[in-house]
Structure 1
Amino acid sequence: MNKKLFFILPISALLFAGCGSKKEEKIEALPDDEVKLTGEQMKQISLDTARLQEEITDLQLSGRVDFNQDDVLPVFGFASGNVLEVNASLGDHVAKGQVLAIVRSGDLGNYLSQYNQAKGQVALNKRNMDVAEELYKTKVYSQLQVLNAKITYNASVDNLKQYETYLKTYGISDSSKAAPDYKITAPVNGFVIQKSINKGMNLLPGSNNNYFTLSSLSTVWIKANLYEEDLQQVKEGDSVNVQVFALPDTVFKGVISKINYVLDSSSGTLQARIVLNNPGQLLKPNMLAEVKVHIDGHCKAIAVPKDAVVLYENVYYVMVRRRDNVFERKAVKLKNCSGGVCYIAAGIGPGDVVVNKGAIYVLGQ
């Protein structure tokens, strides 16, 4: 800071002034911590006002992108046999009804055979029942014989319906066009996020395994690691900013929807869950994430723009306006900075007008 001095006129000059010469004006002397800007210099800076407001701090957590477990659908297989085809791979997007795999199933072949036999039995029993009714009219058959024929027919119909139900379980509605091949299809649109079936595998009877898992990925979970000492500061509903290393210039905004209060003994952390919208499926499961939690400290502090605070020789300074174009350098005690705002513990007060843009320039005058 350049020291400002009074310019004192020589005595002879004062004498001449008393003899009718024009009186010289004194140039204002400023303390060491003040600086006066010209009109042109004032145009290069911007001003802001220190305000007393709720202090907001950021707590930084590490985390990872995960599937939204409420948006995950397992795809099961109900047939044993040999896997002939697998038409979807991990990460593929599949459409509803798309065939994911085909299994040559002995079970399905048996059901088809039994279904066709039951269908033939129904036709035979229908004819026998019709004949019995005609013979009853001619007194050849008794009423009991007709009743037995109807009972036999109805039993065969029930048996046929049972096999129809079995076939529908395998996705077969038209048995006349059916082959002993079981098709595993996608129940919804989504991405394949898990797969446990490969061509040539033999699927065992009664396994009912989850061969595929699908998710739309329209939303994802962020699982953030929360240490015990931070638990008192963080609560459900706190707003967060999330960034992933693969997309360093993109910030995803959300809130903490759930805190799991079961401590992981291996890592010594709890997990905070954030549900994020995922337009364009930019966020992929298992991406590493950085989570900044905005903590409301429930206490007020003097706030100024971050650019108003200048660090010089390990001391933080703010340039405070004292008159129209005169500014004083004030050392301040800094609490923290968050979201473009710095919170001041001491040095200035609410209502002080400070230099925002150009603070470094003014400090150097």
Structure 2
Amino acid sequence: MHFRNISLYSLAFIVTLSSCSGKKEEEKTVYENTKFSKNDKNSVHLIEKQIQAVGLTTTTIQNRNMEKLVRLNGKTDIAPSHISSVSSIMGGHIKSINVINGSHFNKGQVLAVVEDPQFIQLQQDYLVTKAQLEAARLNYNRQKDLNTSKASSDKTLQTAQADYSTLNATLKGLEEKLKIIGINAKGLSAGNIRSKINVYAPFTGFVSKILVNNGQYINPTDTLFELINPAGLLLELKVFENDVNDVKMGQEILVYNNQNPDVKSNAKIVSVVPSIENGGSATAIARLSSVNTEFVKGMYVNAEVNISSHYTMGLPNEAVVSFENKNYVFEDLGKSNYRMIPVMTGISDDQFTEIIKADFLKDKKIVQKGAYSLLMMLKNKAE
């Protein structure tokens, strides 16, 4: 009786083991029963159970309007044409400096004041020449009247005319010199001669460098300030090799910095450097559509480019598989045979991937669902 009970328990245990083993064997069927062509390493044959287990479906190449969002990053810089060195037209001592490094200024604002006795001399020369010119004009008119009645010689008239012309040219020259240093000659009189001149900002921008200090004597060739015009701000963006063909000159982009990622500014790509650097990226140059003081030289920035490829050929994303940095699709050859075909891909969105030079796929049935499983079968075969 005791022996009989042991036998019954043993029999039940053996049946249970057999049942579990059967399920495991059935799960292995998908891969173990896969047949491969000896002459074609890229082909695979499935049995009906495998097709059902994988759930294979097929599709065909399709024409679609596709979009792709390319993300770029880089730094800001200033175009050389918008970095200006400011000097004084005439030498002198720095009387005062009205800005500091990094400060903002407006066009026409006084940046510094320079003082020197030569400014007094220049104004004095102008006023003296102006008085002499008036006397020469009166003498010239008088000599013309006298020469008409032959009361004076032609030589005397010519001398008076030459004196008048010379003084007139001298006065014009002095007037231009005063204009350059910011003194209005028309309003100049003996009562408002000054020893100081102002150095004005030529545009609205920021101070990059101050190269002088109060009391320093400067020559006309000395640079006082280095100024930045923010209108010349450029965005130097890295474009990864896979996106180089998608990023083109003239494209509109959105730019933002890490401090305010939700605030995006419009910009336009003005140049793409046609070379790939050692890091595997090219450089695209963009310019802001309008001046934005939040972007300064040397700042890290991010950009988004919305790429639109109008009416291009593509396949659902799951139909395209990748292996060792190359892309493939599987063609349904019929009779449960499938062949892996290399393809060149372009842009992709959430659903579809562009296939470049896809005419050879037009009349082919392409595996959609199950493409990755077929790839795994081929990899197992290779192993």
TM-score range normalised by the length of the shorter chain:
0.5 to 0.7
**Matches for 1:340-355 after TM superposition, within 5 Å:** 341-343=350-352, 346-347=368-369
| Residues 74 and 213, structure 1, Cα contact 8 Å, conserved in 2 | yes
Query: What letter corresponds to residue 203 of structure 1 in structure 2?
Result: I
Higher strand share: 1
1:114 alignment partner in structure 2: 125
- Cα 1:157–1:256 change in 2 (3 A) is closer
TM-score for both structures, normalised by structure 1: 0.58
- Count matched residues: 267
Per-residue CA shift, 1:213-246, capped at 9, x if unaligned?
25255x8432102355653443324454433111
2:102 equivalent to 1:88: no
- Distance between the aligned counterparts of 2:193 and 2:282, measured in 1? 53
| Residues 139 and 160, structure 2, Cα contact 8 Å, conserved in 1 | yes
Q: Unpaired runs of 5+ in structure 2?
A: 1-52, 55-61, 319-344, 354-366, 371-383
Query: What letter corresponds to residue 346 of structure 1 in structure 2?
Result: Q
1:198 alignment partner in structure 2: 212
- Distance between the aligned counterparts of 1:268 and 1:343, measured in 2? 26
| Residues 97 and 113, structure 2, Cα contact 8 Å, conserved in 1 | yes
SS at match of 2:263: strand
Per-residue CA shift, 1:174-196, capped at 9, x if unaligned?
332342322111234x2224344
Q: Following TM superposition, by how much is the alpha carbon of 1:279 offset from its aligned partner in structure 2, in angstroms?
A: 6.5
Please point out which of 287, 293, 316 is paired with 1:275. 287
Please point out which of 51, 57, 72 is paired with 1:61. 72
- Distance between the aligned counterparts of 2:238 and 2:292, measured in 1? 26
Please point out which of 291, 294, 307 is paired with 2:303. 291
2:236 alignment partner in structure 1: 223
SS at match of 1:111: helix
- Distance between the aligned counterparts of 1:283 and 1:120, measured in 2? 55
Higher helix share: 2
Query: What letter corresponds to residue 294 of structure 2 in structure 1?
Result: L
Per-residue CA shift, 1:308-332, capped at 9, x if unaligned?
xxxxxxxxxxxxxxxxxxxxxxxxx
SS at match of 2:100: coil
- Distance between the aligned counterparts of 2:160 and 2:219, measured in 1? 41
- Cα 1:301–1:283 change in 2 (3 A) is farther
1:187 alignment partner in structure 2: 202
Give aligned-pair identity as a percent.
Answer: 20
Q: Unpaired runs of 5+ in structure 1?
A: 1-31, 34-50, 305-334, 349-365
2:166 equivalent to 1:152: no
Per-residue CA shift, 1:248-268, capped at 9, x if unaligned?
223334442211336778x77
Per-residue CA shift, 1:94-143, capped at 9, x if unaligned?
33322121112455344334323423432443454466567768976434
Superposition CA RMSD, Å: 4.2
- Distance between the aligned counterparts of 2:291 and 2:285, measured in 1? 19
**Matches for 1:238-253 after TM superposition, within 5 Å:** 238-253=251-266
2:39 alignment partner in structure 1: none
| Residues 238 and 255, structure 1, Cα contact 8 Å, conserved in 2 | yes
| Residues 132 and 141, structure 1, Cα contact 8 Å, conserved in 2 | yes
TM-score for both structures, normalised by structure 2: 0.55
| Residues 249 and 270, structure 2, Cα contact 8 Å, conserved in 1 | yes
Query: What letter corresponds to residue 269 of structure 2 in structure 1?
Result: I
- Distance between the aligned counterparts of 1:149 and 1:278, measured in 2? 59
| Residues 93 and 191, structure 1, Cα contact 8 Å, conserved in 2 | yes
**Matches for 1:1-365 after TM superposition, within 5 Å:** 53-67=64-78, 75-105=86-116, 107-126=118-137, 128-129=139-140, 132=143, 141-174=152-185, 175-176=188-189, 177-188=192-203, 190-200=204-214, 201-205=216-220, 207=221, 209=223, 211-215=225-229, 217=231, 220-227=233-240, 230-261=243-274, 270-278=282-290, 281-296=293-308, 298-302=312-316, 341-343=350-352, 346-347=368-369
| Residues 76 and 208, structure 1, Cα contact 8 Å, conserved in 2 | yes
1:358 alignment partner in structure 2: none
